[in-house]
Chains A and B, each alone.
Chain A
Amino acid sequence: MYLKNMYISRMYSKELTKGTLQPIILKLLSEHDKMYGYEITQKVKELTKGKIDISEGALYPILHKLENKKVLETEKVYIGKRIRKYYSVTKSGKHVIEEQTKQINDFIDTLSLIFNPKTS
């Protein structure tokens, strides 16, 4: 019994969450006006009750790539001596997010075909 619960409540493995991080980040950003890096990690932790923990090592490469692809844009705000960069979705980025959200919903359905065949 204990073992069973342990696997349910623990964090997912990195391999499992790797491909879903970008859609998660984009979805969050599309629902909020603008967010900064730390806020995103905390929000994901809060929403998933700590089950998905986006590490900084995964977050910032994705954010920078998306900015480079013009999906996201940044706004620099000075906080005392340091700079905080707020990320927000560009106009062209909205289409990308729609597409990805559709794709991941479809992916979830497909996965349940394999793992929960009885319910379908």
Chain B
Amino acid sequence: MTLTDQHIAFISNNLDFYGLKNNDLKEDLLDHICTHIENSNEHDFETAYKKAIHEFGGHLNLNHIEHQTNLQLYFNASKNRNRLLFLMSYISAACILLGIVFKFMHWPFASILLVVGFAFLIFLTLPIYFYSRYKDRIIKYQS
């Protein structure tokens, strides 16, 4: 059967309604469902649509697909963020601790080490830490 613009809008709205937030994925799924219906032998849109959704494993499965996609997409990004966070934490901790030791011993450059260490901590480590917490929470919410 051929689909009218209204049918396509109906399917698109339905995908929105069932909580699909990733737009790229939505375009893919919309086209998939439409092609599936167009290739089916049904003449009635209602039954063809129901059948198509049934083959998908129901509406619940749509959310599952999105969840899986998000996991696959953001896994590497999250890993890289964590690596950066560890590195930055190490640098700031090392600078501050060395600065303290230097200060005890009255060695030169103690203040520079302390300033660099705190600068790293305040301007890099902490922002990255909060950003990565924020990102992880967003992903959890989306999927």
Chain A contacts to B: CB under 8 angstroms: 36-38, 55-58, 60-65, 68-69, 76, 79-85
Chain B contacts to A: CB under 8 angstroms: 3, 5, 8-9, 12, 24-25, 27-32, 34-36, 56-57, 61, 64-65, 68-69, 71-73, 76
- Among B5, B29, B36, B73, which residue has its beta carbon within 8 angstroms of that of A65? B73
Nearest CB on B from A28, distance (A): 16
| 7 interchain residue pairs of minimum CB distance | A65-B72, A61-B68, A38-B35, A61-B69, A83-B27, A84-B31, A61-B72
**What are the residues of chain A within 8 A of B31 when measuring CB–CB?**
36-38, 79, 82-85
Tell me whether B57 and A85 are in contact (CB under 8 A): no
Q: Is chain B's interface secondary structure helix, strand, loop, or mixed overall?
A: helix
**What are the residues of chain A within 8 A of B64 when measuring CB–CB?**
57
Please report the C-alpha to C-alpha distance between residue A69 and residue B5 in the assembled complex, in whole angstroms: 34
Q: Using A57-B65, A60-B69, A65-B73 as known contacts, say yes or no to A82 and B34 having CB atoms under 8 A apart.
A: yes
The chain A residue sitting closest to B73, CB to CB, is A68
The chain B residue sitting closest to A41, CB to CB, is B32
Tell me whether B57 and A64 are in contact (CB under 8 A): no
Nearest CB on A from B67, distance (A): 9
Nearest CB on A from B108, distance (A): 49
- Among A37, A55, A62, A85, which residue has its beta carbon within 8 angstroms of that of B72? A62
Please report the C-alpha to C-alpha distance between residue A64 and residue B125 in the assembled complex, in whole angstroms: 31
